[in-house]
Amino acid sequence: MTDEARPLVVLTGASGGIGRSVALRLASEGYDLFCAFHSREPQIRNLRSEILSLGARCDTFKCDLIQSSSVRDIVTRVSYLLEDPQVQLRGLVNCAALLLGPSFETATEKSFDNYVAVNVRAPFFLTQQLARLMAPGSSVVNFSSAGAHFSSPGDIVYSMSKAALESMTFHAAEALARKGIRVNAVIPGFTDNGHELFSDPVVRKHMESHAVLGDVSSPETVAEAVLFLISQRSSRTTGTTLDVSGGSTLGYRHAKERISLRQKSHVDRQY
């Protein structure tokens, strides 16, 4: 390894709304990207062109993280890239996910297994296996969700998967600390990933109601947090979560139904 080694970051979910912003932000700071995606080939082709125009290198890789063989395929491909002594693996961003998802009533064993495969199993084994190839000072960033922090039976499987990923974050942080590798998670709230739902005024209003700061997040804001956690600017930060949800985890959405304990105790005293 030479001093001029190029830092490489493996990013899953690169074809998604947030993944795209993460890739471009990292590329603009001098990181090369290994961009894994599932189905959206035009998006990944455009993203690759934009990354190259920023002067970074970009490898793209089509995979289905429901299949456990995908993790092996990614690790094999990254190992091959690392045969170049000018390339140093410095980060992993586990951004891919199956979003929202089956409710308490509609979940099946198959849908449950698929969510766990993409949202938990793949990040776990990518972290375990790519960490073996990482240099000290490297960083892993997982993607949780505000949904892991409030009850949401309509998205129970998704929310459970994100809670598991947060748990993995702090356990893995200790496991990898001795290798000088940090592990953290970001917690986005509703983030405009380009999905048509964000253009529906009624749905948008509902989404905005979750954040004490109002509005929904932009992918660029989330990408900024990922860059911070990947970079040496966060060199003393591991095993933690960085909440970029606009305060969606503070429970504001229940404000209308919430009983004021102070008022209640006053009323109770009257009786």
Ligand X SMILES: NC(=O)c1ccc[n+]([C@@H]2O[C@H](COP(=O)([O-])OP(=O)(O)OC[C@H]3O[C@@H](n4cnc5c(N)ncnc54)[C@H](OP(=O)(O)O)[C@@H]3O)[C@@H](O)[C@H]2O)c1
Give the interface with ligand X as residue ranges (CB under 6 A). Answer: 13-19, 37-40, 63-66, 95-99, 118, 143, 145, 188, 190-191, 193
Q: Which is nearer to ligand X, 6 or 40 (CB)?
A: 40
Shortest reach from residue 227's CB to ligand X, in Å: 15
Separation of alpha carbons 146 and 254, rounded Å:
14
Among all chains, which residue has been given the structure tokens 């600017």? Answer: 233
Beta-carbon contacts of 206 under 8 Å, excluding residues fewer than 6 positions away, are: none
Least separation in angstroms between CB 72 and ligand X: 14
CB of residue 267 to ligand X, shortest distance in Å: 38
* 3-state secondary structure labels for all residues of the chain: CCCCCEEEEEEECCCCHHHHHHHHHHHHCCCEEEEEECCCHHHHHHHHHHHHHCCCCEEEEECCCCCCHHHHHHHHHHHHHCCCCCEEEEEEEECCCCCCCCCCCCCCHHHHHHHHHHHHHHHHHHHHHHHCCCCCCCEEEEECCHHHHCCCHHHHHHHHHHHHHHHHHHHHHHHHHCCCCEEEEEEECCECCCCHHHHCHHHHHHHHCCCCCCCCECHHHHHHHHHHHHCHHHCCCCCCEEEECCCHHHCHHHCCCCCCHHHHHHHHHHC
Nearest C-alpha neighbor of 179 from the set 140, 141, 138: 138
CB of 232 vs ligand X, minimal distance in Å: 24
Q: Which is nearer to ligand X, 35 or 134 (CB)?
A: 35
Nearer to ligand X, 87 or 168 (CB): 168
Closest distance between ligand X and the C-beta of residue 122, in Å? 7
Q: Of 5 and 99, which has the nearer Cβ to ligand X? A: 99
Cβ proximity to ligand X: between 87 and 148 the closer is 148
Ranked by CB distance to ligand X, the top (closest) residue is 16
Q: Which is nearer to ligand X, 87 or 157 (CB)?
A: 157
Residue 38: CB minimum distance to ligand X, A: 3
Least Cβ distance, residue 257 to ligand X (angstroms): 23
